[in-house]
Amino acid sequence: MPSATPLADKIAAVTGGGGGIGGGISRLFAEAGAAVVVNDIDADLANAAVGDITDAGGRAIAVVGDITDSVVVAEFHRAAVEFGDGQVDVLVNNVGDYRPGAGKFIRTTEADWDAQINITFRHVLRCTRAFMPTMVEGGGGTIVNVSTVEAMRAMPRIAVYSAANAAIIAFTRSIALEMADQNIRVNCIAPDMAVTLQTPLDQMLRDRPLEQVSRLIPLCRFGNPDDFAEVALFLASDQSRFMTGQTIPVDGGTMTAQGWYRRADGRGFTNLPDAP
């Protein structure tokens, strides 16, 4: 039987760990036994996550700051090492934002590209580079990156976001191979249809009935932070001990559907979503 606390005695560091998917990961990792270092740019969200964890009997600290800033990355790593008495076992690179540079590519600027690459991909490089030597010294660890299904399919109007997330997937594979002999596993989740502060339900519905939109998702519902956190926990724990370099879509089946949708009358599927 799997342990109820598969991260017992582990130190986990989570970027963007205050709200949304990151908040779900921070809280679930703490339930699984980890002491959690929560980074978030929003002090209220970071402190709320830490409060929830400590109120439940867990251990957590907040490191408030913009993870795209190399100084914040260094502080995040320093705080995690101190909190863990030199030990850091799990790093979750969760931060990302589709909004910088959103719109038709032809109208974007190099400043837009830089902003998008910084918030979605460059911090993954910086955090991985900061934490990896600590994991090597400690005899191993796990890294869970958060990408998106938009990295694996066409996505108009957020092309640079899609490309930056594809880079996360490629980096995951390459660094997993590079570090396998150091007992460091690196895997990735690719969410879709997530209800978060960044993508609230009303924004996705756009005044359409929930039933109409949810039938376009094979599992017929949107994803909550816990849905994604559970898969991240699997990848961070020994339950996935023989896995590395993998990306798992956590998407309610949208990648599998590849453009097929349930008919409004419930009779089979259509590849024309407005058809009955």
Confidence check: pLDDT of 276 > 70: no
CATH code for residues 11-201+222-252: 3.40.50.720
Q: pLDDT at position 202, please? A: 85
Contact partners, residue 110, CB within 8 Å, separation at least 6: none
Q: pLDDT at position 4, please? A: 87
Long-range contacts of 73-76 (CB under 8 A, 24+ apart): 73/123, 73/126, 73/127, 73/130, 74/130, 76/13, 76/15, 76/37, 76/39, 76/127, 76/130
Q: Apex CA 90: angle with CA 243 and CA 21, to 5°?
A: 90
Confidence of residue 274 (pLDDT cuts 50, 70, 90): low
Region 59-68: mean pLDDT is: 98
Confidence of residue 92 (pLDDT cuts 50, 70, 90): very high
Confidence check: pLDDT of 82 > 60: yes
Helix ranges (H only) for 6-151 are: 20-31, 43-55, 70-83, 110-117, 123-137
Region 216-244: mean pLDDT is: 96
Out of 161, 171, 228, 261, the active site residue is 161
Per-domain boundaries in the chain: 11-201+222-252
Region 229-241: mean pLDDT is: 98
- Tokens 């342990």, residue located: 3
Instruction: Indicate if 161 belongs to the active site.
Output: yes
Question: What is the rounded distance in angstroms from the CA atom of residue 168 to the CA atom of residue 147?
Answer: 6
Closest by CA position to 21, among listed 202, 238, 223: 223
- Cβ 164 vs Cβ 120: under 8 Å: yes
Question: What is the rounded distance in angstroms from the CA atom of residue 271 to the CA atom of residue 252?
Answer: 17
Tens-place pLDDT, residues 142-151: 999 999 999 9
DSSP annotation of 37 reads E
Confidence check: pLDDT of 197 > 90: no
Could you tell me the maximum CA-CA distance found in the chain, to the nearest angstrom? 60
Q: pLDDT at position 271, please? A: 79
First to last CA, the chain: 46
Its pTM stands at: 0.94
